[in-house]
Amino acid sequence: MDKNSILGLLLIGGILIGWLVMSQPSKEELALQQRAADSLVNYEQAQKTLAEAAAKTALTKTVQATAAIPDSLMNSDSVKAIIKKQAFGAFAQAAAGTNKLITLENDVLKMNLSSKGGRVASVELKNYKTFDGKPLTLFYADSSAQNLSFTANSLKINTDSLYFTNDVEGFTVAGDQSKSISFKAYAGDQSKYIEYVYTLKGNDYLVGFTLNTVGLQDVIAASTKKLELNWEMKLPKQELHTETQQNASTIYYMNGEEEVDKLSEASDEKVVMPTKTKWIGFKQQFFTSVLIADKGFESLVELESKRIQGGQFTKEYAANMAIPYTHAASESFPMKFYFGPNHYQTLKGYDLGLEKQINLGWKIFGWMNRFLVIPIFNVLDNMNLNYGIIILILTIIIKLLLLPIAYKTVLSSAKMKVLKPEIDALNEKYKDGDAMQKQQATMALYKQAGVNPMAGCIPVLLQMPILIALFNFFPASIEMRQQGFLWANDLSTYDSVYDFGFSIPWYGDHVSLFALLMTASTLLYTWSNSQLMGNTNQMPGMKWMMYLMPILFLGFLNNYSAGLSWYYFLANMFTFGQTWVMQKFVIDHDALHRKIQENKLKPKKVSKFQQRLEEMAKQQQQGKKK
């Protein structure tokens, strides 16, 4: 590696370090996070103390009430009623009952609601299947929770222990219909209750969810300002590659300033939101469950995500939210659930920012996907073509859009190839001399010939945003989920033409043919590019690295989306074909050589900046001689 290569690596390192420094939170942000964490700790300690005191009081009362009762009567209904009265207070009647599931469904989803807790027990998406052909369930009753907790008569009440009554046994809606079902947990008489109202529309993934409190102003403790809503679930395995599903799953949320952020996908994380929160999304790779508050949840919302290794689950989510309570005779807190796919147009249609859960890339890369790639993809998708063919057509369209840039790149490489004999002569002349003199002579040759050695780099840099945008687009596109092409059964995950039965470090437990084709095409493109440059030896230390990098990336692409590997293979082959056609039929090398020789004879205008560089070089050379 020469000094230019070293300088380039240093610049890249400097940029990375600068980005890390700039992305660090400010002192004000750190202080705000610390205050929020301290507030949460104090809040949790206070709640724990109250809960322990309430439990102790309830236990004492229960012991006193049952101390004089003979053992033979302990299982009687009257004794059980006394115990429940001591444990649940005004909600003692709701503490007894039989759990039953009520099914609500429309054209796209099927929900099971549990009378115990009045909660959403499970959700099935009708139009989707798991990787092994089973019904796709977002979460199950025995691995999820939806609980409202508060203090009533010095007792800690959790609604997941209460039995709610409902007025409908279940229903199915279609088209433009809309139906609601009410679940009520009574506090002594029918004028005092907690109510959950679920509203379902036909052909819609959005479910209305309203919390009502009626007549509880004297039941709920006077010190209570907020009701705690706890929402938890374990994500079942739905995709072929568990690690890929884990790495694409996390909790998203929108704060009071309508900014969307997320927890880490790669590691366990727990955060506390210092401001209001608009919605919370339990995102999976291709599907999501979102709880949306019309008025926003109060500050200090706690979110936690944990990875689960092995078994039928991939991750575990938990969210603890605060709902304001003012002790009015009747209060209502409207919310909504979204249970559905991570489909960009579907999520964007709700105008809630839910589409930001789809990772389309950072800043400019995301813009490329939103305003270029997705519109073109949607037009092609409406033609009912195979998705492998759609990727082929998309590649052709993008290559045609980038054709002027590609021509500039090939033309610059052709100019460098024409100058190669003269550059080789300079390398031979100064091979034992001063490297600075060789560099000055080379730059002087470029200036005389009217060639900019950086001209070939700029077009490549202009193409990078699209290449990186597509790197994010294909793995996140639910449209390609379980869509086959050629030997691949699912373009959203890896294709396998041979399974080893064991895992090879770095590579995996299978052979992806699309990844092999992509690697081979990259090596072919690298070789043709070096031929186009005339096998220049200016940077011999980098030549082997250009061939090694595609092989190193093979281990990564072997477990990645087959659709992405198919696109990169097509892009490489089209680039190779474009370059060959331009070199063979478009660019006249003899005419290019004559033009370069003519440019050498023309007087060149030297900029002030160039003059300063040359003067600095002369001074440096004179200093070395002294």
Give me the pLDDT at residue 605, please.
Answer: 61
Give me the pLDDT at residue 73, please.
Answer: 46
Given a cut of 90, whether residue 350 has pLDDT beyond it is yes
Confidence of residue 393 (pLDDT cuts 50, 70, 90): very high
Bigger pLDDT: 21 vs 179: 179
Give me the pLDDT at residue 342, please.
Answer: 94
C-alpha–C-alpha distance, residues 225 and 530, integer Å: 71
Confidence of residue 79 (pLDDT cuts 50, 70, 90): very low
456 secondary structure, DSSP code: T
Count of Cβ atoms closer than 10 Å to residue 429 Cβ: 12
The CA–CA distances, whole Å, from 409 to 60, 414, 456, 470, 587 equal 84, 9, 5, 21, 12
The model's pLDDT over 92-123, given as tens digits with 9 standing for 90+, comes to 888 888 899 999 999 999 999 999 999 999 99
185: left (phi > 0), else alpha (psi -120 to 50), else beta? beta
The model's pLDDT over 490-537, given as tens digits with 9 standing for 90+, comes to 898 888 888 888 888 878 888 999 989 989 988 887 777 776 555 544
| Measured CA angle at 486 (ends 481, 487), to 5 deg | 85
Q: For domain 83-358, is the CATH number 3.40.50.620?
A: no
Give me the pLDDT at residue 555, please.
Answer: 80
| Measured CA angle at 56 (ends 55, 57), to 5 deg | 90
Q: What percent of the chain has pLDDT over 90?
A: 34
The model's pLDDT over 424-479, given as tens digits with 9 standing for 90+, comes to 787 777 777 666 777 777 777 777 666 666 655 665 666 777 778 888 888 888 99
Q: Which of 63-77, 104-118, 486-500, 548-562 has the lowest mean pLDDT?
A: 63-77
The domain spans of the chain are 26-82, 83-358, 369-495+562-601
Beta strands in 436-507 (DSSP E): 498-504
Using alpha carbons, select from 617, 431, 453, 456 the residue that is nearest to residue 2.
431
Give me 612's structure tokens.
């300063």
- Please state the φ and ψ torsions of residue 47, each to the nearest 5 degrees: -65, -40
Bigger pLDDT: 584 vs 109: 109
Q: Each residue of 392-414: b (16+ CB within 10 Å) or e?
A: bebbebbbeebeeebbbbbbbbb
Of 65-69, 82-86, 273-277, 431-435, highest mean pLDDT? 273-277
Average per-residue pLDDT for the chain: 81
Bigger pLDDT: 95 vs 603: 95
Give me the pLDDT at residue 283, please.
Answer: 95
Using alpha carbons, select from 395, 216, 244, 228 the residue that is nearest to residue 315.
244
Give me the pLDDT at residue 74, please.
Answer: 45
Give me the pLDDT at residue 38, please.
Answer: 58
Average pLDDT of the segment spanning 379-406: 89
Bigger pLDDT: 616 vs 351: 351
Give me the pLDDT at residue 373, please.
Answer: 87
